[in-house]
Amino acid sequence: MSLVDALYDFFLTMGFSAITWQEIVMILISFVLIYLALVKGFEPLLLLPIAFGMLLANLPLAGLNAEPIYQIVTDPVTGEHTHKMVDAGGLLYWLYRGVKLGIYPPLIFLGVGAMTDFGPLIANPRSILLGAAAQLGIFTTFLGALALNFVPGLGFNIPEAASIGIIGGADGPTAIYLTAKLAPHLLGPIAVAAYSYMSLVPIIQPPIMKLFTTEEERKIKMGQLRPVSKLEKILFPIVITIVVCMILPTTAPLVGMLMLGNLFKECGVVRQLTDTASNALMYIVVIVLGTSVGATTSAEAFLNASTLKIVVLGLVAFAFGTAGGVWLGKLMCVLSGRQINPLIGSAGVSAVPMAARVSQKVGAEADPTNFLLMHAMGPNVAGVIGTAVAAGTFMAVYGIM
């Protein structure tokens, strides 16, 4: 064999010899997402692993998503047939098992619960109504995605529509969990859309909030929340777990782990477990979750018309979720004799605590002495529960389709 032939054979083992223009486009998109995560700070903790997973998935010949290969082996003595693994498959194939089996998102909820203070929600139980109202975007977009079926070639089936609608809850782990169960082929686009819109909360929400509220409403000051006892904070996760999971058992993985993490935090006697759940464990899971989800964004799965439709519908879902919370906030403002500032309703989407901070910011723009943050945290944490309930509802109704 000549040197030229040897070099040519070596070149054929390189990814450069097999790369397609679609894979080049996906690699460039991953560069854009890496830029947004590192430079613009768009949800970097998850967007960066997702972007790098996208990069890895589109490197030709790397085999990171390759499925394991088995051979049927016959025992010469007994004649029994067994399956023998002759190739273990790719790293990302095995990491993705945690997504497909619904393991990673509940573990992230465990960490979220360990960092969440449900005190504002306990002090003002009406906040749960605002968290529920902000789920309007989920169900509006679900119906909108189904309505596209009236135009041939544009629509989605019911599980796909449910997975797209959940973007409106602004809860990335829940969106990933539901999509992995109902429409795993849409996981990449939905995850990218969900986390992109979560990072854009400070840009998307204020115009909607100002559109549906008056200057006078934004200036409304709310009274101080009552103190919440330690006993109330300990009983809350236990009671919520029993009530919600008994009514909707499909929510148990998400709500149960969220409340377990919160019980760790509030009981005060398992500080090591609280620290582990909210730091080391959660961030390890974030790495493997983000990378394996990003690895689902192959050129074939991402570069199509469905991705564009998902991005547009995700924005609609998020806008209606914000508006739904504000609309109910306005109604509660009237019924309470102007004791409730409608702005806190926008925090009902579960982007914790970013959405609550946006409510505070918009309120402070109208009146610098206005302090809405703690009041907005009530609907904000209620939105986490509300989105999990919405996802559980979809799984209970459409999970067997």
Q: Are 298 and 65 in contact (CB under 8 A)?
A: yes
Tokens coding 314: 């995700």
83 forms beta bridges with 72
Q: Which pLDDT does position 401 carry in this prediction?
A: 47
Please tell me the distance from the alpha carbon of residue 74 to that of residue 10, in angstroms, as a whole number: 37
Q: What stretch of H or E contains 275?
A: helix 271-278
CB count in 10 Å sphere of residue 219: 16
Q: Which two tokens stand for residue 187?
A: 């996981």
Beta-carbon count within 10 A of 149 CB: 14
Q: Where along the chain do its domains lie?
A: 94-398
DSSP state of 129: H
pTM across the whole model? 0.90
Q: How long a stretch of residues is the chain?
A: 401
Dihedral angle sign, alpha carbons of residues 262, 265, 269, 273: positive
Contact between 381 and 123 under an 8 Å Cβ cutoff? The reply is no
User: What is the H or E stretch that residue 235 is in?
Assistant: helix 230-247
Name the nearest CA neighbour of 392 among 230, 210, 254: 254
H or E element in which residue 373 lies: helix 373-398
Q: What's the alpha-carbon Rg for the chain, to the nearest Å?
A: 24
Cα distance between residue 401 and residue 361, in whole Å: 43
Q: How far apart are CA 96 and CA 49, in angstroms?
A: 13
Q: State the angle between helix axes of 187-199 and 44-57 in degrees (0 to 180), rounded to the nearest 10.
A: 150
Residue spans of the chain under pLDDT 50: 401
What pLDDT score was predicted for residue 329?
Answer: 96
pLDDT tens column, 225-272: 999 999 999 999 999 999 999 999 999 999 999 999 999 999 999 999
| DSSP state at residue 135 | T
pLDDT of residue 302: 87
CA angle centred on 163, ends 359 and 98, rounded to 5°: 100
Could you give the CA distance from residue 128 to residue 348 in angstroms, rounded to a whole number?
8
Reduce the DSSP state of residue 223 to 3 states and report it: coil
Cis amide leading into 152 (omega within 30): no
